[in-house]
Amino acid sequence: MRFTHTTPPPTDRDDWQTLRTLWPYLLRFKGRLALALSCLIGAKVATVTVPLFLKDIVDALSVPATLLAVPVMALAGYGVARLLSSVLGEVRDAVFARVIQGAIRQVARQVFAHLFRLSLRFHLGRQTGGMSRDIERGTKGIGFLLNFTVFNILPTLIEIALVAGILFWLFDIWFALVTVATIAVYIGFTLVVTEWRTVFRRTMNDLDSKANAKAIDALINYETVKYFGNEGWEAARYDEGLARWEASAVKNQVSLSLLNAGQGVIIAVGVTSVMVMAARGVVAGTMTVGDVVLVASYLTQLWSPLHFLGFVYREIRHALADMERMFGLLRQDEEVADAPGARALSGAEATVSFDAVDFSYDGKREILQGVSFTIPAGKTLAVVGASGAGKSTLARLLFRFYDVSGGAVRVNGTDIRQLTQDSLRAHIGIVPQDTVLFNDTIWANIAYGRPEASREEVIDAARRAHIHAFVETLPDGYDTQVGERGLKLSGGEKQRVAIARALLKNPPIMIFDEATSALDSRTERAIQQELAAAASGRTTLVVAHRLSTIVDADEIVVLDAGRVIERGNHRTLVAAGGRYSALWAMQQQGEAAAADL
């Protein structure tokens, strides 16, 4: 079984493009950025002056006892430098916190909003578990990147430059050259090995997302797994993905150990070389004990963050890989987008027209071919036909989840591609065949039709959908949780919640996509009156399987293989003796047989 993934594959990465994508989110906090960088530089300047004061203290205390005096100024300077280093670092952290969290919030919100602008085609092909993991890792990657860039990489680079300059100024040029050469070898080794290792981490992420997607998919379809007794097969399939992830994780750890060992060797050689030169200087009388302390302090200050810099660089590369997958979602093109200058649909009445509409989901098999019909404002048109005839596709095209391949769908004479999608969908309500509810309360699911509605309006919609009495019998009433996808409710109960939600929205155009298919006959008859009342005065498109529900429609269109083969009202179509008449006779016989049981 093949599984697709929506984000770009983990190859041909462009880290600079990822950083350019992130940069505008940071520029919204220019003042805080400038203040944080100022504190960063101030803290590092204070940090590198600490060993200078320590050198003066050691030299002052290294003279014969008769000449000893307390080096007050050096001690005071040492204390102030340490205080400034600590305080300015904390101020930097506090100031930059808003930048990090603000950028994460803005990116996450934009990705979330962008996902809803993508077409239904994208969402039908995505893996929810893998995509959610990409977004989670991507937002965490932003925090990691910003934290360690501002708090570790920049401070370390500034400290390296300051220390090299001080060593060159105070001592022989070889001190600075050996220090800088060691740093260069260390960084070069880290970059080369990390680049080699990055492929293991990227592979781990990709396999992790795929394994998670399989697990989420199986859990979402829990009942189906249990129906067919495929628990073992699902576990084996999940373990197959984990096995590949395990192999990649082992390679990742082995390469990490190799990198750490190499870094340790480089640091040991560099530190030993500098300390040997310092010891020789003391023996030769060109350096004091305070100078040795100064060099040792700088090496300690420098090598600790430099060793951490290797870890930070590796993790930043990983963070960039994680961020790229998330930003890849932002680069997904909107297949259906508002046209330049698109205008808002307005008015309380709407005439809907399908004008010679052709449509294909994949460009290979035509679903609709030259379909034309008009629903005058306030009238009801029903569409019937066999499964796969293209009935539900009409609703998707009217909502503009897809754009037509040929012809046009018009509302009040305007091609819907020239209307804003928000205003178009605000004018349409739907009761779908397959009702999926949010994992929330019954109240929240009904109120979703119009979140600003009052309590009285929500209850009125529930009454008209014949679900209020049922809700009142529940221990928690409208606060009853419906479970994921509404699994705690029966099919009929879910359908009535969907009907109440559409009634609450109160749009000028209504679509009933086999809206009573999940209801028993008695409930169907009870709700049918309310659906008729809801359709009254509205432009209504009814996709029907049970012909008894559409006998009062103003016009009925019969679809076959994507083409209109018959049209007219119920009486004329029955009298015509065609496809509709045959379907009507068949269903009447079925209902009569059921009544005899």
Summarised one tens digit per residue, pLDDT across range 294-332 is 887 777 777 777 766 667 777 787 788 888 888 888 877
Indicate the length of the chain as a whole number: 597
Packed helices 491-505 and 455-464: angle between N→C axes, nearest 10 degrees: 130
Q: Which residue has the higher pLDDT, 180 or 408?
A: 408
Evaluate if residue 133 carries a pLDDT over 70.
yes
Domain 15-330 = CATH 2.40.50.1020: no
* Residue intervals in the chain for CATH 3.40.50.300: 352-569
* Residue intervals in the chain for CATH 1.20.1560.10: 15-330
**Whole-number pLDDT of residue 66:** 47
Evaluate if residue 7 carries a pLDDT over 50.
no
Rounded to 5 degrees, φ, ψ at 172 are -65, 145
Evaluate if residue 89 carries a pLDDT over 50.
yes
**Whole-number pLDDT of residue 258:** 85
The hierarchical CATH code for the domain 352-569 is 3.40.50.300
Q: What is the pLDDT of residues 93-105, one digit of tens each?
A: 888 888 888 888 8
**Whole-number pLDDT of residue 3:** 36
For tokens 């189906």, name the residue: 224
**Whole-number pLDDT of residue 69:** 54
| Residue 274 burial by Cβ neighbours in a 10 Å radius (0-12, 13-18, 19+) | buried
Q: What distance in Å separates the CA atoms of residue 349 and residue 342, rounded to the nearest whole number?
A: 20
**Whole-number pLDDT of residue 417:** 93
Whether residue 111 contacts residue 7, with contact meaning beta carbons closer than 8 Å, is answered with: no
Q: What is the pLDDT of residues 439-467, one digit of tens each?
A: 889 999 999 889 898 989 999 999 888 88
Evaluate if residue 262 carries a pLDDT over 60.
yes
Single-letter amino acid code for the residue at 5 = H
**Whole-number pLDDT of residue 296:** 78
Neighbours of 406 (CB within 10 A): 14
**Whole-number pLDDT of residue 407:** 93
Rounded to 5 degrees, φ, ψ at 8 are -60, 150
SS3 call for 85: helix
